[in-house]
Amino acid sequence: MKALTIDQALSDPRLLGAGLGDPATTWRTWLITLKAAFGLPLDDSEREVFAQVAGGRAAPLRRVRELWAIIGRRGGKSRMAAALAVFFACFLPRGWAAGEQPMVLVLAASQAQAKVVFGYCLGFLQSSPVLSKEIAEATRNEIRLKSGVVIAIHSNSFRTVRGRSLLAAIFDEVSFWRDETSSQPDSEVYSAVLPSLATTDGVLVGISTPYRKVGLLHAKHREYFGKDDADVLVISGGTKLFNPGISDAVIAAQRSADPTAAASEWDAEFRTDISGFVDREAVEACVSLDLRERAPMSSARYYAFVDPSGGSADSMTLAVGHREGDVVLVDALRERKPPFSPEDVVSESAELLKSYRVTSISGDRYAGEWPKERFRDHGISYEPAQKPKSDLYRDLLPAINSRKIDLLDHPRLLTQLVGLERRTARGGRDSIDHAPGAHDDLANAVAGLCGCTRLKYAYDSSMSWVS
């Protein structure tokens, strides 16, 4: 394919314009942003729009290495991610080594979102009378072009990146990336992708609605927004700037229902009502490295907490531990991911509990009657927790910060603890829970264990309840 500039490709109805429509109206702010990112000249009116979304910085004089676009919801982010992927695959100058397989990689927040972006990519190619002839093969996650370039669309994972020769990498909705094995998936993927881009002088594009003030997107905004940097461009703008066709009534209704959330989703502002719950360093300091489980000891008195699940949506988790002085030690962790039979998991849990001589456990207070009945069938009494989950987490925090809890080396547990968020409601009350799309079943079991161990230890020691 002949090398074309980004605005030419997006505007030509025979090329990307066939799937995009009229960029001069609906997509004008996007077009100006991309022209600036590629170092193309802007006229006076375009410079005014660019200054509005770029924090007043001057337009780059050459193509940047990284473009970070912080855009309101329904601002065309995924469609533009797909358009850029096709552009990088079709219109960049060629020059890779024989036998090398060049790739344009798009990483999305989930498999479902990756499927959406894949559909957009294929749609851009198939709707163009010119680009449709370039398709050699399309699989579930990849589009192979006759030039040898592959457009690959996957959910985020640093494992997807290694060993690739990337012409470009596009991070879609990077603020909402979640990974059960990592508390910082965005930063890990970013570090992994840079060497893959270095050999091709490739471009990194991050596109997302903002979330809370943490993570890669916020770090890029804090460091580069409004600053004249030759290599990194950060732009930010609300939905109406990038999609003027969105209904004002829809935005007004959302703003009335939840002004803080609307400021993030529609105005592209980082949320101020959500913060991290605990520092990663504090949690890591409580971990006994390479210790997966502690064997039962005849001298210890063990306690346990279970977070039940019906087996269809959430995991069912169990934590067993004991106390040495004023330190709670986690001795065993179990997690069964859905789908599963609750009766089978209770039976397996009972066997573990008996090995630690535990005959009475605490558990989630909202689980209903079935855990009591099922555990009772195995000779184990089930007591609902005296506090809700947020309060258990709130009590766990000083134990972590003062290293009064000794954790097993369990990556998913660490990820869940570090991923917890503190939310402040409009009434001023705080709640602590996992982030959207994340899980906290293991973290909940450990928080419950810490609370019930301290309480029951006090009772066992004095034979009377103490606060």
Q: Could you tell me the two tokens for 420?
A: 């917890």
Task: Identify the band that residue 165 occupies on the pLDDT scale cut at 50, 70 and 90.
Answer: confident
The residue among 394, 411, 393, 403 whose CA lies nearest residue 335 is: 411
Beta strands in 141-208 (DSSP E): 142-145, 150-155, 165-172, 203-208
160 has a pLDDT exceeding 50 = yes
Q: What is the tens place of the pLDDT at every residue in 393-437? A: 999 999 999 999 999 999 999 999 988 988 876 666 778 999 887
Residue 242 scores a pLDDT above 70 = yes
By the 8 A CB rule, do 307 and 424 touch?
no
Binned at pLDDT 50, 70 and 90, residue 467 comes out as: very low
Structure token pair of residue 319: 């934590």
Q: What is the percentage of the chain residues whose pLDDT exceeds 90? A: 62
Determine the 3-state secondary structure of 202 from DSSP.
coil
pLDDT surpassing 70 at residue 23: no
pLDDT at 466: 37
Average pLDDT of the segment spanning 316-341: 95
List the 165-172 sheet strands across, edge first.
Answer: 135-138, 142-145, 150-155, 102-108, 165-172, 203-208, 66-71, 232-237
N-term to C-term CA, the chain: 74
Residue 2, pLDDT score: 62
Question: CB 254: neighbour CB atoms within 10 A?
Answer: 15
Q: 450 and 329 in contact (C-beta within 8 Å)? A: no
- Burial of 61 from C-beta contacts in 10 A (0-12 / 13-18 / 19+): exposed
CB 436 within 8 A of CB 429: no
Identify the residue whose tokens are 């306690």: 303
Look at residue 254 in the predicted model and tell me its pLDDT.
84
* Omega cis (within 30) before 339: yes
- Determine the pLDDT at residue 455: 61
- In the chain, domain spans: 6-272, 280-462
Q: What is the CATH number of domain 280-462?
A: 3.30.420.240
Q: Which two tokens stand for residue 353?
A: 């509990």
Average pLDDT over residues 40-53: 95
Residues paired with residue 132 on neighbouring β-strands, in sequence order: none
Which strand (E) or helix (H) includes residue 252?
A: helix 248-257
Read off the pTM: 0.78
Per-residue pLDDT, averaged over 305-322, amounts to 92
- Whole-angstrom distance, CA of residue 337 vs CA of residue 353: 19
Q: How far is CA 159 from CA 51, 255, 302, in A?
A: 37, 39, 39
Tokens of 303: 């306690």
Strand partners, 66: 204, 232
Contact 42, 59 (CB under 8 A): yes
The per-residue pLDDT for range 98-129, each reduced to its tens digit, is 566 889 999 998 888 999 999 999 999 999 99
Burial of 434-447, coded b for 16+ CB within 10 Å and e otherwise, reads bbeebbbbbbbbbb
Q: Letter for the amino acid at 369?
A: E
3-state SS record for 12-39: CCCCCHHHHCCCCCCCHHHHHHHHHHCC
Mean of the per-residue pLDDT values for the chain? 88
d(CA 75, CA 208): 10
pLDDT in tens, 432-454: 999 887 889 999 999 999 998 76
> What local confidence, expressed as pLDDT, does residue 453 receive?
79
Residue 16 has pLDDT above 90, yes or no: yes
The answer to whether 80 touches 139, Cβ cutoff 8 Å, is no
Strand, helix or coil for residue 445: helix
In 3D, which of 140, 148, 150, 146 has the Cα closest to residue 118? Answer: 140
Answer whether 12's CB lies under 8 Å from 127's CB.
no
Query: What's the whole-number mean pLDDT along residues 264-274?
Result: 86
Which stretches of 45-112 are assigned E, i.e. beta strand? Answer: 66-71, 102-108
Helices (H), 312-402: 342-355, 370-376, 389-401
Rounded average pLDDT over 70-83: 93
Dihedral (Cα; 318, 322, 328, 329), 10-degree rounding: -70
What gap in Å lies between CA 85 and CA 424, rounded to an integer? Answer: 38
d(CA 292, CA 275): 30
Q: What is the DSSP letter of 271?
A: B
Query: In CATH, what number does 6-272 get?
Result: 3.40.50.300
